[in-house]
Amino acid sequence: MTTVSADIFAPLVLQGHGPIVVQFMSHGCAHCRAIEPVLSDVAAQSEARFFRINNTVDRNLAREYGIAATPTFVLFLSGKEIGRVERPQPVALSLATLLAEPFST
């Protein structure tokens, strides 16, 4: 998963092709650290491209997307938000299913 900054967000995400998942996170977030192994597995098996935004570095971008909790996953297709998943529990829920569902419509 690639960490991107606000200055390259638009070309990679808003102008990107295919399904894209953006994780808004912070390195101090215990939930973000806990879900990392599950997320890495999901990203490796998914057709979607995955990017990470660090909320503490790119606060304006997080504010623009109304990020209130971490981790928050925003799902994009053709540059438009089509869904989001907030604060998943990696052992209780199937992250792959949660992230794939909006793309199947």
Q: Which residues participate in catalysis according to the annotation?
A: 29, 32
Only one residue has tokens 């989001």, namely 84
DSSP track, the chain: -EE--HHHHIIIIIT--SEEEEEEE-TT-HHHHHHHHHHHHHHHH-SSEEEEEETTT-HHHHHHTT--SSSEEEEEETTEEEEEEES--TTTS-HHHHHHGGGG-
Q: What is the number of other CB atoms lying within 10 angstroms of the CB of residue 60?
A: 8
